[in-house]
Structure 1
Amino acid sequence: MAKQYDVVIIGAGPGGMTAALYASRANLSVAMIDRGIYGGQMNNTAAIENYPGFKSIMGPDLAQNMYDSSINFGAEYVYGTVSAVEDHGDYKLVKTDEDEIQAKVVIIATGSEYKKLGIPGEHEYGGKGVSYCAVCDGAFFKNKEVVVVGGGDSAIEEASYLAGIVDHVTVIHRRDQLRAQKVIQDRAFANDKIDFVWNSNVTEVLGDDNKVTGVKVVNNQTNEESVLETSGVFIYVGLLPMTDAFKDLNITDEDGWIQTNDQMETSIPGIYAIGDVRQKDLRQIATAVGEGGIAGQQAFKYVESLADTSKASVSEH
């Protein structure tokens, strides 16, 4: 017999935790499922400086604060990996690696993961010098030189963070200018421990059996190839939505992002999506929180509509 809840939230990042707070505070029974620790990518972020109410707060601290709020009105946290969601009209069946859960509403908040370069050496030296998380692994490279690949907010923020730990950071970007916000760029340009290699692609990670020793770099304007010695390679070249479990629902675009309206509704009644898994431009903690609040309130309205329909059906008979 499947466990039953009013609302199942898949993912316990800032959006999912906010949705759990709003839905449970509306007196709905709520299960929040995640395959890892609550907080999502906040746990891999050092200082968060753009979340209202805090001049600066450590990512794990904000994650804990949000989690404490999310379970304050009875929402349950469930550890597990969701493999599929089935739509059965008035109820949805959420399949995990452990069991099945039945819910009137499903809110998808699975987020995204870092895109891989797909080059030789990237997989082989994962955990041996190749990383996607400066906060997690930066301390291993104290007094060493590292490379950051990418030119967006994450890449340049992490380069600045690493500069406070390592001897030197080289940012390699495929274009001739950064895509990061100007304030983030300015901070990096002003740091004498950071320099830049423009119009270039990393084509191979080099190393011995136990550690990274360098990267092969090709200038995409001149085709000139060079080798840059380094102890670490931190890769930030984009995001991929974590939506494999929902592919049979036909709610994603061709790139896998979930499409919703401004009420966070997908094309299937009772299924919502919030946060970094959505098709949108700005993926930030603040936007995920706002979307979580909307989805939690919409979940309440949807469950109420099911109850009203059921009452009307009974009265007709």
Structure 2
Amino acid sequence: MTTHTTRMLIIGSGPAGLSAAIYGARAGMKPIVVQGLQPGGQLTITTDVENYPGFRDVVQGPWLMQEMQAQAEHVGTRMMWDMISSVDLVNGSPFKAIGDSGDEYIGDVVVIATGAQAKWLGVAGEQTFSGKGVSACATCDGFFYRGKKVVVIGGGNTAVEEALYLTNHSDDVTLIHRREELRSEKILQERLFADPRINVLWNKTVDEFLGDEKGLNALRLRDTISGEIQDFATEGAFVAIGHAPATELFKGQLEMDESGYLVVEPGTPKTAIPGVFACGDVMDHTYRQAVTAAGTGCMAALDAERFLGTLDFAKDAVQA
């Protein structure tokens, strides 16, 4: 077992974690980033990225994350190929974490950037056509389906919001829900039902995503009441059944909302434990964009720098 010490320990290596690392390294905190199960985060499984500022042409998600990591390393970040299996946050700074490797990580501050994963249906063809007609983010990918026939699968707030958003790009949007009524807020339902561009298919589940080498072209639907099977033609399908934040590691130590997202002080990345900050999708169930994740990563690093400055001043005063 090796012990790694740092002023700033960052758990997670998506846009939030790497942005925190860039700012932290430039501030002289010599951050360590423990990359986790999916180094680079969700963008590494995203192909075309067209909405990240600074790029006129479409860029590839994996390339963008490689560049972010290279920038973080260039300014002094240490990247660790490990996954944190346990943390001790309640005893205050310095904080301790243990990796699957058995290594121990000790940081004066901790930045949590473990992200969230979209929930998938888990049916045939879903992963085959991921990025080729199947998506879990209309805000990210809706632009690529302008003028095309698209569907949204789900019945909660996320699904209704995605369907409404897609009307910016398509006049033929279908919401598919397994029940006969939606779970979303009433005001969202009113907007949905009032929009002539949106049709709703009730009591339907997706059995399979269908397509060919060009991509998705249909869904195989099952009626939840009659059991009848039908194929529904579409060029784009957006799975909107929620997200699962990666917060299991912090249960019993940090406050979470009813969906499992970390609770922070409004408008900041500060958790209830001084010196522990949360950024990106692990604390953001509203926007979930790479650029907003990067922004909160910057905020976490700036607040961490201020915290360490206060900590250092207090230590100097005691020694004096």
**Greater displacement, 263-272 / 43-52:** 43-52
TM-score, normalized by length of structure 1? Answer: 0.75
Are 2:142 and 1:157 aligned? Answer: yes
Q: Which moved more, 1:223-232 or 1:20-29?
A: 223-232
In the TM superposition, what whole-angstrom CA distance separates every residue of 1:274-295 from its partner, at most 9, and x where no partner exists? 0111044212112111111111
Name 1:85's counterpart in structure 2: 87
Partner of 1:14 in structure 2?
15
From the superposition, tell whether residues 260 and 175 of structure 1 become closer, same or farther in structure 2 (CA, over 3 Å): closer
Does structure 1 conserve the Cα–Cα contact (< 8 Å) formed by 2:153 and 2:240?
Answer: no
Contact 1:84–1:95 (Cα < 8 Å) also in 2: yes
User: Per the alignment, do residues 149 and 309 of structure 1 end up closer, same or farther by CA in structure 2, a change over 3 Å counting?
Assistant: closer
Number of residue pairs matched by the alignment: 279
Which residues of structure 2 form unaligned runs of 5+? 174-196, 210-217
**Structure 2 equivalent of residue 60 of structure 1:** 62
Q: How far apart, in 2, do the equivalents of 1:65 and 1:30 lie?
A: 17
* Aligned partner of 1:242 among 239, 246, 257: 246
Three-state SS of the structure 1 residue aligned to 2:43 is helix
Q: Select the residue among 162, 183, 192 that pairs with 1:180.
A: 162
Give the whole-Å Cα distance in 2 for the aligned partners of 1:27 and 1:2: 20
Q: Is the 8 A contact 2:113 2:278 kept in 1?
A: yes
* 2:187 is aligned with 1:205: no
2:25 corresponds in structure 1 to 24
Q: 1:269 aligned to 2:274? A: yes
Is the Cα–Cα contact under 8 Å of residues 264 and 278 in structure 2 kept in the other structure? yes
Unpaired runs of at least 5, structure 1: 139-145, 164-168, 208-212
Deviation at 1:90, TM superposition (A): 2.1
- In structure 2, the residue matched to 1:166 is none
Query: Is the CA contact (8 Å cut-off) linking 2:152 and 2:162 kept in structure 1?
Result: no
Once the two structures are TM-superposed, the CA of residue 17 in structure 1 deviates from its matched residue by 0.5
Q: CA deviation at 1:19?
A: 0.2
Corresponding residue for residue 107 of structure 1: 111
RMSD: 3.5
| Aligned ranges 1:292-307 → 2 under 5 Å | 292-307=297-312
1:55-89 deviation digits (Å, cap 9, x = unpaired): 34322232222222111211011112212221222
| Residues 1:251 and 2:255 are matched in the alignment | yes
**In structure 2, what is the Cα distance between the partners aligned to 1:226 and 1:159?**
32
Equivalent runs, 1:203-242 vs 2, <5 Å: 203=205, 205=207, 215-218=220-223, 223=225, 225-229=227-231, 235-242=239-246
C-alpha contact (below 8 Å) 1:14/1:63 kept by paired residues: yes
**With structure 2 as the length reference, what TM-score do the two structures score?**
0.74
Q: Deviations over 1:252-291 (max 9, x none)?
A: 1222101112231000011000011104421211211111
Aligned-residue identity in percent: 27
Q: Distance in 2 between matches of 1:95 and 1:129?
A: 37
Shift of 1:159: 7.9
Deviation at 1:172, TM superposition (A): 5.0
Residues of 1 paired with 2:256 and 2:202: CA distance? 32
